[in-house]
Amino acid sequence: MTKRPTILVTRRLPEAVEARLRRDFEARLNPDDRDLGEEDILAGARGADGILTSAIDRMPASLIRRLPDSVKIIATFSVGFDHIDLEAARARGITVTNTPDVLTDATADLTILLLLAASRRAAEGERLVRERRWIGWRPTQLLGLGLQGKNLGIVGMGRIGLAVARRARAFGLSVHYHNRRRLPPEKEEGAVYHETLETLLPLCPFVTLHCPLTPETRHMINRATIELMPPEAVLVNTARGGLVDDEALIEALRSGRLFAAGLDVFEGEPNLHPGYLELDNVFLLPHLGSATRDARNAMGFRCLYNLDCFFAGRPVPDALT
């Protein structure tokens, strides 16, 4: 009988995904979903052929250089891969894969939720009701912003950005976007391309971020770029927390320079900047972008398909290295 590959799994995964892991691999699972440090990962990877990790498990060069020689592939349960040092993996001959496509709709839906919730002051209203402070309808109570006839600026027009654009049009928004390169006209569907943030931001009272976190994009939303946005604009981020300079955003929200923000991701999460907790005009979610049963199962099965292909000697569809 052919020996089944051994896979270290750093996080508890959906039940259906773990069932398939147990069926097809020698799976070293993490049923308690405890945080694994570098030494835990190194111990668990002894004799393993691969690692199935996630966006919250950092795999820096210092860890990858120490992995056992038996480890030939790292499959991450995420689209983003900034938590893995790809150069270190490439130097070791380790294949790294991610899970594109499968969480596009779930994240786009959540983006619209954040956009609506921030614009319509949903967090304040929900607290008012829960805390029994609501005294009834008033003509000027919790007035928010309407979307119809306004411009939405999408920063990063990949799969998720395109899905957000389609949804945004249904709410009467006109779409502008900034991307590393312009899309072909059939993909733009009438969206207006901007080569730089400097031309995009002044035209867009609503802005949503969908680009990867790189050295070039880190803190792309900062004091200077916030000053380019229209007064009382709304910012949404479902991409990566590091795209935003927290101090600058909190200052703008506190002063009223920005009307509101909707945030699903944070720099240093789960330890978000405490300043956000003091603000009424920010709608906060705990990184729920892909948190539907359908999307999380699909992410897991995409990881497994990459592992299947790798160990069968077939081309690996989502290989990053």
Alpha helical stretches, state H, the chain:
15-24, 38-44, 61-64, 86-92, 104-119, 122-130, 159-170, 185-188, 197-200, 223-228, 246-255, 293-311
Residues identified as active-site? 240, 269, 287
| Contacts with 303 (C-beta within 8 Å, 6 or more apart), sequence order | 17, 52, 75, 76, 77, 97, 99
Quick check: 98 and 290 in contact, CB under 8 A?
A: no
Which H or E run includes 207? Answer: strand 206-209
Q: What is the distance between the alpha carbons of residues 235 and 231, in angstroms, rounded to a whole number? A: 12
Contacts of 115 (CB under 8 A, 6+ apart): 147, 152, 168, 206, 208, 234, 236, 262
Q: Are the CB atoms for 29 and 8 separated by under 8 Å?
A: no
Q: Residues of 218-251 as b/e, b for ≥16 C-beta within 10 angstroms?
A: ebbbeeebbeebbeebbbbbbbbbbbbbbebbbe
Separation of CA 138 from chain center:
37
Task: Report the relative pairing of strands 233-237 and 206-209 from DSSP bridges.
Answer: parallel
Q: Is the peptide bond before 139 cis (omega within 30 degrees of 0)?
A: no
